[in-house]
Amino acid sequence: MNNVEFGSQGEQIARQELESKGYTILEMNWRFRHKEIDIIARKNKELVIVEVKTRRSNYFGEPYMAVDRRKQREIIAATNAYIEKYDIDLEVRYDIISIVINDKNQNKITHLEDAFYPEVNW
């Protein structure tokens, strides 16, 4: 399985996790220019933007640690474009779903709600 297929597998696991918690999935892999939002969901009166990070181990740290400031800025820019395009008037929350799939195909899923926030002066 190549990295793209592995990442897609992680996104499907994340989708199932969110749906089991009552989220409505609005978009998967929504693109704005070269930026992408893995999952756009809605729960209650919140638009939930989800970055999914999938790894084969946590030897070098948990997958969510890979969502650095640069990646956060890209996600926020894409989110702003999505909100503007569809004229959305909801509170926005940024989550990360971190998945480790080991050799035995066992999944460790960590859902970090409110994982990061847009900062002023970005």
The full set of domain ranges for the chain reads: 3-116
The class (CATH top level) of 3-116 is alpha beta
How many helices (H) and strands (E) would you count in the chain?
Answer: 2, 5
Cβ neighbours of 119 (radius 10 Å): 10
pLDDT of residue 61: 84
Report the C-alpha gap between 2 and 79 in whole angstroms.
Answer: 28
pLDDT of residue 121: 52
103: phi > 0 → left, psi -120 to 50 → alpha, else beta; which? alpha
Query: Residue 113: how many CA atoms within 13 Å on its side-chain side?
Result: 10
Model confidence at 122, pLDDT cuts 50, 70, 90, reads very low
